[in-house]
C-alpha cells in the first residue's frame, strides 16, 4: 500500500490491528486443526473456538451460546431474515424495515417479497432518524419482525434502538438490528435492551479480519429451531451455519473484541477530536452542510454535501485520499445514495456528498491535508 495514503473510509473496512494478526498467526501455521474433528488436534481447535466465542459474547454482554459465527454481517442478515421468515411454523407475512438500511437488508427483503412476504419500507426524517409514531402505527397483528439498523453506514446516524426495542417487545414482535457499525465502536450491553432478538456484526469494522462475523440470537425469545437453515451440510453452529469453522479468523475476531473492550473509550475521545477538527473546517466552507443528525451520530463519521461539487471527480483525482461518496455501482452505472435520497436530498446533492469515516490510525496532519485538498479543488472549480 502507498505509504502516503490517507485512509478515511473506515466504515467500509478498517486496517487490521497488528495484535490481531499476531494472535491469528499460530492458527494458520501450527494449530491448523479442524474444530469439528474428534482427535486431539481437532479438540484443541474446538476449545480455542469456544474460548473465542466467550470473548466475542462478552463485548455485547451476551451468553456465549447466543453467538453464531458467520462469514460476516451480510451472511448473518441473510440467516436471520430468511431463516425467521421461512420457518415452516411461521404464519406471519409482514416485515417492517427502513428505506435507509444497508443493501444486505434491502436486497434480502426484496427476495422475501418474491416468496410472498409483505415488506413495509418506512421513511426517515430529513435527519435520518426513524419516526417512532410511524413505527407504532405500522405494526400489525401479522407483523413478524422489525429490522432497523443501529448505526447507518453512510451518515453515522444512530437510531433509538432502546426505544424501538421497548415498542417491539410490548407488541410481541421480533426485533432484528444490523449493528455492524455499532459493535466495537459503541458500548453495548445487550441486557439493557427490552429484547433485541437478533443482532448482526462483523470483525473488520473494528480492526479485525475480514470474512468473519456473528449473529446474536436471544435465547430467551428465539430458539434456533425457529430459524430455518439456508445452508446445509454438517449442522455446524447449532445447525444454522454448516461449514468448516475459520479458526484463525475466529481467533482474530476475539482478539479485536478484546482490544475494543479495553480501548473503546480512548479511541472514542481521540477519533472524535479528529472528526471535530475536520467538521469545523468543512462547515467554514460556504454552502457545505452535514447530512444526518449531528446529535445522534457516531463519533467517527461525517457525511458532508458540497454544492456544485462532483464527489466522484474528487475521489478520482486524489488517489492518495480514500473517502466514499456513498454511491452504489451497479452495472457500471453510478447511482445516487439511496440513504441520502430517502432523507430528502435530490440527485445532484447526493452526488455532491462525501463520507469521511475515521479510525484510530488517522492523524491530525492527515485531516489538515484532506481539508487543504478539498479547498484547493473548490477553488479550481470556481475558476
What confidence tens digit (pLDDT) does each residue in 192-235 have?
A: 987 899 999 999 999 999 999 999 999 999 988 899 998 888 88
What CATH number is associated with residue 232? 3.40.640.10
Domain end marker among 257, 284, 303: 257
In a shared domain, residues 285 and 222: no
Given a cut of 80, whether residue 114 has pLDDT beyond it is yes
pLDDT of residue 4: 82
Nearest to 9 by CA among 255, 325, 297: 325
Q: Which tens digit of pLDDT belongs to each residue from 293-329?
A: 999 999 999 999 998 887 888 887 778 899 998 644 4
pLDDT of residue 95: 98
What CATH number is associated with residue 292? 3.90.1150.10
Domain annotation covers residue 1: no
Domain annotation covers residue 191: yes
Give the alpha-carbon dihedral of 367, 371, 376, 379, to 10 degrees: 180
In a shared domain, residues 152 and 10: no
Among the ranges given (25-29, 147-151, 177-181, 316-320), the one the predictor scored with the smallest mean pLDDT: 316-320
In a shared domain, residues 245 and 378: no
Domain annotation covers residue 146: yes
Domain end marker among 204, 235, 257: 257
* 121 or 325: which leads in pLDDT: 121
User: What is the mean predicted confidence (pLDDT) over 80-94?
Assistant: 96
In a shared domain, residues 224 and 80: yes
CA angle (84, 47, 184) in 5-degree steps:
55
In a shared domain, residues 10 and 42: no
In a shared domain, residues 91 and 187: yes
**Cα gap 69→92, rounded to integer Å:** 27
Domain annotation covers residue 186: yes
In a shared domain, residues 271 and 357: yes
- Cβ–Cβ under 8 Å, residues 45 and 33: yes
In a shared domain, residues 41 and 149: yes
Domain annotation covers residue 368: yes
pLDDT of residue 331: 36
The percent of residues in the chain predicted with pLDDT above 90, rounded, is 80
Domain annotation covers residue 226: yes
**Cα gap 160→130, rounded to integer Å:** 8
pLDDT of residue 231: 86
In a shared domain, residues 362 and 308: yes
**Cα gap 299→287, rounded to integer Å:** 23
**Using 50, 70 and 90 to split pLDDT, how confident is the model at 382?**
low
Report which DSSP code applies to 230.
S
In a shared domain, residues 250 and 268: no
The interaxial angle of helices 73-85 and 103-114, nearest 10 deg, is 30
pLDDT of residue 116: 96
Nearest to 352 by CA among 303, 302, 309: 309
Query: Domain range spanning residue 280?
Result: 6-14+263-382
CB neighbour class for 286 (10 Å; exposed up to 12, middle 13-18, buried from 19): exposed
In a shared domain, residues 195 and 295: no
Report which DSSP code applies to 170.
H
The percent of residues in the chain predicted with pLDDT above 70, rounded, is 96
CB neighbour class for 168 (10 Å; exposed up to 12, middle 13-18, buried from 19): buried
pLDDT of residue 185: 98
In a shared domain, residues 124 and 233: yes
Domain end marker among 206, 227, 257: 257
Given a cut of 60, whether residue 332 has pLDDT beyond it is no
pLDDT of residue 362: 97
Domain annotation covers residue 170: yes
In angstroms, what CA-CA distances link 93 with 115, 117, 171, 241? 10, 5, 16, 24
If one counts the domains in the chain, the total is 2
By annotation, the residues acting in catalysis are 329
**Cα gap 108→103, rounded to integer Å:** 8
Amino acid at each position: 500500500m502507498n505509504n502516503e495514503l490517507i485512509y478515511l473510509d473506515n466504515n467500509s473496512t478498517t486496517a487490521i490491528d497488528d495484535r490481531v494478526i499476531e494472535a491469528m498467526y499460530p492458527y494458520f501455521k501450527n494449530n491448523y486443526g479442524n474444530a469439528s474433528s474428534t482427535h486431539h488436534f481437532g479438540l484443541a481447535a474446538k476449545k480455542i473456538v469456544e474460548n473465542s466465542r466467550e470473548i466475542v459474547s462478552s463485548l455485547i454482554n451476551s451468553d456465549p451460546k447466543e453467538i453464531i459465527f458467520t462469514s460476516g454481517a451480510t451472511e448473518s442478515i441473510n440467516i436471520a431474515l430468511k431463516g425467521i421468515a421461512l420457518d415452516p411454523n411461521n404464519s406471519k407475512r409482514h416485515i417492517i424495515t427502513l428505506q435507509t438500511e444497508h443493501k444486505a437488508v434491502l436486497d434480502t427483503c426484496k427476495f422475501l417479497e418474491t416468496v410472498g412476504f409483505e415488506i413495509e419500507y418506512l421513511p426517515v426524517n430529513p435527519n435520518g432518524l426513524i419516526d417512532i409514531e410511524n413505527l407504532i402505527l405500522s405494526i400489525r397483528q401479522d407483523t413478524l419482525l422489525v429490522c432497523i439498523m443501529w448505526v447507518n453506514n453512510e451518515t453515522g446516524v444512530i437510531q433509538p434502538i432502546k426505544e424501538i426495542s421497548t415498542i417491539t417487545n410490548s407488541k410481541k414482535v421480533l426485533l432484528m438490528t444490523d449493528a455492524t457499525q455499532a459493535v466495537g465502536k459503541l458500548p453495548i450491553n445487550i441486557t439493557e435492551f427490552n429484547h433485541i432478538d437478533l443482532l448482526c456484526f462483523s470483525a473488520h469494522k473494528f480492526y479485525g479480519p475480514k470474512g468473519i462475523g456473528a449473529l446474536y440470537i436471544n435465547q430467551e425469545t428465539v430458539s434456533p429451531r425457529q430459524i430455518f437453515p439456508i445452508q446445509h451440510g454438517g449442522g455446524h453452529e447449532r445447525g444454522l451455519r454448516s461449514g468448516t469453522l475459520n479458526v484463525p479468523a475466529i481467533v482474530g475476531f476475539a482478539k479485536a473484541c478484546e482490544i475494543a473492550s479495553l480501548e473503546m473509550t480512548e479511541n472514542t475521545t481521540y477519533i472524535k477530536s479528529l472528526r471535530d477538527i475536520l467538521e469545523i473546517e468543512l462547515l467554514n466552507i460556504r454552502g457545505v452542510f452535514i447530512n444526518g443528525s449531528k446529535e445522534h451520530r457516531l463519533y467517527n463519521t461525517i457525511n458532508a454535501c458540497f454544492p456544485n461539487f462532483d464527489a466522484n471527480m474528487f475521489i478520482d483525482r486524489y488517489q492518495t485520499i480514500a473517502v466514499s461518496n456513498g454511491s452504489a455501482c451497479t452495472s457500471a452505472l453510478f447511482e445516487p445514495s439511496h440513504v441520502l435520497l430517502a432523507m430528502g436530498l435530490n440527485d445532484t446533492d447526493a452526488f455532491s456528498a462525501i463520507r469521511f469515516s475515521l479510525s484510530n490510525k488517522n492523524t491530525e496532519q492527515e485531516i489538515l491535508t484532506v481539508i487543504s485538498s478539498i479547498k484547493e479543488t473548490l477553488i479550481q472549480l470556481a475558476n
